[in-house]
Amino acid sequence: MRQYPAKDGPFPVRLHFEPQEMDDMCLQALRDSKFLPSAPGPVRIDAFLEKHFGCPIDYDDFPPEILGCTEFTANGRVQRIAVARALADNPKDEVARRRLNATFAHEGGHALFHASLFITSGEQRSFASENVDLEKRRILCRPADFKVSGATVRGPYRWWEYQANRAIGGFLMPQRLVFAALEPLLQVSPITQTPRLPRDDREKAARLLAEVFDVNPAAARIRLAGLLPEDDEQGMF
């Protein structure tokens, strides 16, 4: 992780993680808490968050424009993770259940990556952005902060939300388990041993990941795009 002085936004610094670094952090957190499945399968994300961060996991009656919230103490410890109670209203609805888990994972990304931003110091800025409240040391996540549908997020770029969205894949579809699940569909270069997913199998692969990891297909497609980008150069062994 590197950090730079921030030119704008609510934080005095901007944190930078490489994509692989974020995946590795999510994987290590799951392993440390003994919630990393031994084979490809769903992650018990709510139970993992409660154990790993040692904080309450709540459902809250947020207004419709708020999906979740992560709160921190003045010394940078995760104090509370909450999601909108409305997300849990239909536990038998597959799409709703999967969206709930993605929201938990997104909040877990804030908890894992961003606690240091809320340590009380003289450098903290006095204003809040649309979803960061420094006075109460919390991030309030709105629908526009999520990118699990494949749509472009509108408005100013919020790097902390991009990073939290990366945790949806990192927690719910750990990298090494994704490759294990996709092994029958992957082609491997005999020279570089680089895995490649044929273009014609991409949608089949997304449906497979959605079923194996109990995530919505849109989230599976985004994870695939991050781990196995669709690129004509893949075919040049």
Mean pLDDT of 158-169: 95
The pLDDT assigned to 191 comes to 80
pLDDT band at 233 (very low <50, low <70, confident <90, very high): very low
The pLDDT assigned to 83 comes to 96
The pLDDT assigned to 180 comes to 97
The pLDDT assigned to 109 comes to 98
- 71-82 pLDDT, tens digit per residue, is 999 999 999 999
- 176-223 pLDDT, tens digit per residue, is 999 999 999 999 878 877 889 999 999 999 999 999 999 999 999 999
Could you give phi then psi for residue 212, rounded to 5 degrees? -70, -45
DSSP assignment of 40-93: S----HHHHHHHHH-S-EEEE---TT--EEEEE-TTS-EEEEEEEGGGGS-TT-
- 5-51 pLDDT, tens digit per residue, is 988 888 889 999 999 999 999 999 999 999 999 999 999 999 999 99
Tabulate helix, strand, coil % of the chain (nearest 5): 45, 15, 40
The pLDDT assigned to 134 comes to 85
pTM over 0.85: yes
The pLDDT assigned to 150 comes to 43
Q: Which residue has the higher pLDDT, 235 or 67?
A: 67
- 115-157 pLDDT, tens digit per residue, is 999 987 645 544 445 688 888 899 999 888 876 544 444 556 7
**Host H or E run for residue 18:** none
Task: Enumerate residues 6+ apart whose C-beta is below 8 A from 231.
Answer: none
Alpha-carbon separation of residue 121 from 135, 138, 203 (angstroms): 12, 15, 48
The pLDDT assigned to 235 comes to 40
